[in-house]
Structure 1
Amino acid sequence: MVNRYAIILAAGQGTRMKSKLYKVLHPVLGRPMLQHVIGQLNAVQLDEMVTIVGHGAEEVSDHIGDQSKFVIQEEQLGTGHAVLQAEELLKDKEGTTIVVCGDTPLITSTTYRALFDHHEREGAKATILTTKVLNPTGYGRVIRNENNEVERIVEHKDADDQELLVDEINTGTYCFDNKALFQALQKVSNDNVQGEYYLPDVIEILRSQDEKVSASITPDFEETLGVNDRVALAKAEATMKKRINEKHMRNGVTILDPDNTYISPDVTIEQDVLIHPGSLIKGKSIIRTDAEIGPHSEIIDCSVGEASIVKQSVAKDSKIGSRVQIGPYAHIRPEASIGDDTKIGNFVEVKKTVIGDKSKVSHLSYIGDAEVGSNVNIGCGTITVNYDGKNKYLTTIEDDSFIGCNSNLIAPVTVGKGSYVAAGSTITKDVPEDSLSVARARQTNKEGYASRIKNRNKN
């Protein structure tokens, strides 16, 4: 088994993005471009990965952590110079090194693996990942000899009339014999208009030494897209969205409007889930079978149980049980745990709260920092008053309780099992089990008083 290494070029400033955010950290479906590249390379089972960083190095390393080794390119002097920064880590090692750009988030592990396999099968010193396009304007052409080996790469501006007809282009991804790569890099010159050291010059150096240079053609041009500006970023997002949505649909998920449904790469969706238009499912969410999401719902790092419905609502960092109805227009905030067969209705906000099975919070309520038992009914307009301006306190509502409309539960407070809280009450003390608690001013009716007010207003 040949050892395999990767060098990721991620040192460019990305000025065309016109952004404070480092280019390779711009997200595609919620995941930074560089993370897409690393994830696909990891699937190939590499022996070592090195990422070349420059601008924003600290921010990149914070995002990627120990998934890769990092080397800083202090001055951006071209792609050849960038690869040379990994020399100390890799130069003496036997094996194959793939060089990829950190702004190519669409290339799949299948393509990377095919490039490695082709390179090693051909016994080449270098292999270029190429593709064919109908309009190759602006791309470097791959020129082959009579033996179908790569002779050279010609940039568009340097190509003659015959070379301009070639439709096979260089994607900027390569495999090299590792030792041959670093030996050739020592001979790369910066004698060009930009004064930079270019990685493609290694191809010409190896050919001048009669070494074999091959090319592996990928049939999917879109996969090789490099993201240099916001227009290309939008194209990458659209391509990734289509790829992910099609995968889920082939696995038995119904997506009514794939063009307007956004699903992050790490989301798990079981078969027979129905997703309505305008839905966003992000992070590492899990959607169980027969669930229904949307329209216009946002699910972030949540588990949604079997046959549950989340309609026109937002849920984040929470667990939603089976056969739950949420929405429309509910907000499930972090650390909520919603039990089975519950209902969270319109304009209800739930935060850091456990709600037991078969309970209902049907409308216009805030339930925060609470433990709600099973078979509890919480009426319209109920608020758990959990914050005193400095600390937050727990509200406990035990099984089978009934909370009347427009009630304020001033935490810390407990409503005992099977108890009733009368509508309009402000509860400041614990309610014993099986009790009725009424905490409101006694109603007083003054008959005829309304007429007196009306007559006074006329005068």
Structure 2
Amino acid sequence: MDAIILAAGKGERLRPLTENRPKPLIPIAGKPILDHILERVESLVDNIYIIVKYKKEKIIERYKDREKIEFLEQGEIDGTGEALLTAKDYVDKEFLVINGDIIFEDNLEEFLKFKYAIGVKEVEDPKNYGVLVVKNDKIIDLEEKPENPRSNLINAGIYKLDSKIFDILENIGLSERGEKEITDALKILIKEKDVKAVKLKGFWSDIGLPWHVLEANKYFLDKIKRDIRGEIEENVVIKGDVIIEEGAKVRANSVIEGPAIIKSGSVVGPLAYIRPYTVLMENTFVGNSSEVKGSIIMKNTKIPHLSYVGDSIIGENCNFGCNTITANLRFDDRPVKVNIKGKRVESVRKLGVIMGDNVKTGIQVSFMPGVKVGSNSWIGASCLIDKDIERDTFVYKRDSLIFKKRVGE
């Protein structure tokens, strides 16, 4: 049996994190989403076909030497249905299909018992998902983002299918947004065949918004075990479950509270404070008297001194000037609002800055909660950033200095 992983989408709601990388490569608990998926599926199948399109070269480069994996490029038509159709001439008669932007714990073995199955998960607010109506473990209906959901069971983006789905996909039209949708084909399949509902065990998340990344990161960090292999200087305090990889260095008088991961090549300190649920990816630097809490700092980023980063996601190759501060909590303690595709959306109680790659800040720059900063932007000294910054932007302000001669006594 084979598996198809749909990894071609742009992930627009996750921008600026997806400006320079496809969504499946966003890191969670120290490794990309796609790594988490492959760990669940590799032992179950003979071949894995990853459907790529947006920023395809980055996925191919990372996984080109992995056994079982072959890459197929989606054509001009967008949509999950078209992505699946790309694999028509490659897979066995029966196969698994997995969305490339979900993260989950289930081992998927239950799916193998059925010819047709859809993974389902119970959620509190199903309005923003495909909602399934299930009777005696059989799916009898699928409604996409209904205003009045008929159940709390949603389509979790994992399927067991056979070649019949290709026949359906070839004979359906495009959706209102001009895409070929897998859900349109599933609605037909449900009417014609016995499609089982497989309730997923353990954690599951559709990584569609920036705070979903931090929530999943927190969950999987709670599963790690202490493993200290890097260089530790004098008077360093390490509490709880912390992974410090070989090649990382923690300099004198620093404090690290787990769960946390410090990847190879990273340098912490001296006098740095790494608080729980932080991941420092490869070759990062958190320097003298800087504090990082509940955040993901991506590769090659530097937070040298006297800075605070809380509940944030910072992209690759960023550099913070001295005393750069991210605010993460509103005065009224209400959920932080974030701009998502032109709409103000409530997120979570604590959320800092969501920053793309290659961003530089001058000294004494501050960010208000929930601000997004596009890639390749520069922010000049002493700026308070209270609104989103598009990519490739230079932000600065001009202060007038007044010089007067001192009057002698």
Aligned to 2:32: 32
Q: Deviations over 1:70-123 (max 9, x none)?
A: 011133521000011111212xx233x11112222x313xx243xxx43443x4
Q: What amino acid sits opposite 1:12 in the alignment?
A: G
Alpha-carbon contact 1:137-1:156 (below 8 Å) kept: yes
Moved segments of 4+, more than 4 Å: 282-286, 310-317
The change in CA–CA distance for 1:234 and 1:48 in structure 2 (over 3 A counts) is: same
Q: SS in structure 1 opposite 2:223? A: helix
Partners of 1:283 and 1:236 in 2: how far apart? 21
Aligned to 2:172: 188
Q: What amino acid sits opposite 1:227 in the alignment?
A: I
The change in CA–CA distance for 1:9 and 1:280 in structure 2 (over 3 A counts) is: same
Aligned to 1:296: 256
Alpha-carbon contact 1:30-1:282 (below 8 Å) kept: no
Aligned to 1:69: 70
Q: CA deviation at 1:224?
A: 2.1
- How do residues 150-165 of structure 1 correspond to structure 2 at under 5 angstroms? 150-157=139-146, 161=148, 164-165=149-150
Q: State the aligned residue count.
A: 261
Aligned to 1:57: 56
Partners of 2:89 and 2:245 in 1: how far apart? 36
The change in CA–CA distance for 1:299 and 1:279 in structure 2 (over 3 A counts) is: farther
Partners of 2:262 and 2:127 in 1: how far apart? 42
Partners of 1:312 and 1:173 in 2: how far apart? 46
Alpha-carbon contact 2:137-2:198 (below 8 Å) kept: no
Q: CA deviation at 1:149?
A: 1.2
Partners of 1:150 and 1:237 in 2: how far apart? 32
Aligned to 1:404: none
Q: What amino acid sits opposite 1:34 in the alignment?
A: L
Aligned to 1:451: none
Structure 2 residue 191 is matched with structure 1 residue 208: yes
Partners of 1:130 and 1:229 in 2: how far apart? 20
Partners of 1:101 and 1:224 in 2: how far apart? 12
Partners of 2:201 and 2:107 in 1: how far apart? 13
Structure 2 residue 128 is matched with structure 1 residue 138: yes
- How do residues 115-126 of structure 1 correspond to structure 2 at under 5 angstroms? 117-121=109-113, 123-124=114-115, 126=116
Partners of 2:26 and 2:48 in 1: how far apart? 21
Q: SS in structure 1 opposite 2:206? A: coil
Q: What amino acid sits opposite 1:50 in the alignment?
A: Y
Partners of 2:104 and 2:229 in 1: how far apart? 21
In structure 1, which of residues 76, 100, 103 is the aligned counterpart of residue 101 of structure 2? 103
What TM-score does the superposition give when structure 1 sets the normalisation length?
Answer: 0.49
Q: What amino acid sits opposite 1:83 in the alignment?
A: L
In structure 2, which of residues 212, 231, 238 is the aligned counterpart of residue 232 of structure 1? 212
Structure 1 gap segments, 5+ residues each = 254-262, 287-292, 303-309, 318-328, 330-459
The change in CA–CA distance for 1:299 and 1:242 in structure 2 (over 3 A counts) is: closer
Structure 2 gap segments, 5+ residues each = 231-235, 275-279, 283-287, 289-409
Q: SS in structure 2 opposite 1:232? A: helix
Q: CA deviation at 1:203?
A: 2.2
Partners of 1:49 and 1:148 in 2: how far apart? 28
The change in CA–CA distance for 1:41 and 1:120 in structure 2 (over 3 A counts) is: closer
The change in CA–CA distance for 1:40 and 1:275 in structure 2 (over 3 A counts) is: farther
Q: Which has the higher contact order (CA 8 A, sep 6+)?
A: 2
Alpha-carbon contact 2:125-2:152 (below 8 Å) kept: yes
Alpha-carbon contact 1:140-1:169 (below 8 Å) kept: yes
The change in CA–CA distance for 1:280 and 1:166 in structure 2 (over 3 A counts) is: same
Q: CA deviation at 1:311?
A: 9.8
- How do residues 310-321 of structure 1 correspond to structure 2 at under 5 angstroms? none
Q: CA deviation at 1:312?
A: 6.8
Q: SS in structure 2 opposite 1:143? A: strand
Q: Deviations over 1:342-397 (max 9, x none)?
A: xxxxxxxxxxxxxxxxxxxxxxxxxxxxxxxxxxxxxxxxxxxxxxxxxxxxxxxx
Larger radius of gyration: 1
Q: CA deviation at 1:268?
A: 8.9
Structure 2 residue 180 is matched with structure 1 residue 218: no
Partners of 1:66 and 1:180 in 2: how far apart? 32
Alpha-carbon contact 1:283-1:300 (below 8 Å) kept: yes
Q: SS in structure 2 opposite 1:66? A: coil
Structure 2 residue 15 is matched with structure 1 residue 18: yes
Aligned to 2:155: 170
Partners of 2:73 and 2:245 in 1: how far apart? 29
Q: CA deviation at 1:31?
A: 1.1
Q: Deviations over 1:318-355 (max 9, x none)?
A: xxxxxxxxxxx9xxxxxxxxxxxxxxxxxxxxxxxxxx
Q: Deviations over 1:189-235 (max 9, x none)?
A: 21x311211112222222333x2101101243xx2212123221111
Structure 2 residue 86 is matched with structure 1 residue 94: no
Q: SS in structure 1 opposite 2:222? A: helix
Q: Name the structure with the higher helix share.
A: 1
Partners of 1:7 and 1:284 in 2: how far apart? 34
Q: SS in structure 2 opposite 1:86? A: coil
Q: What amino acid sits opposite 1:218 in the alignment?
A: L
Structure 2 residue 243 is matched with structure 1 residue 281: yes
Partners of 2:65 and 2:214 in 1: how far apart? 29
Q: CA deviation at 1:284?
A: 7.0
Identity %: 23
Q: What amino acid sits opposite 1:10 in the alignment?
A: A
Partners of 1:215 and 1:50 in 2: how far apart? 24
**Aligned Cα RMSD in Å?**
3.8
The change in CA–CA distance for 1:212 and 1:284 in structure 2 (over 3 A counts) is: farther
Aligned to 2:3: 6
Structure 2 residue 119 is matched with structure 1 residue 129: yes
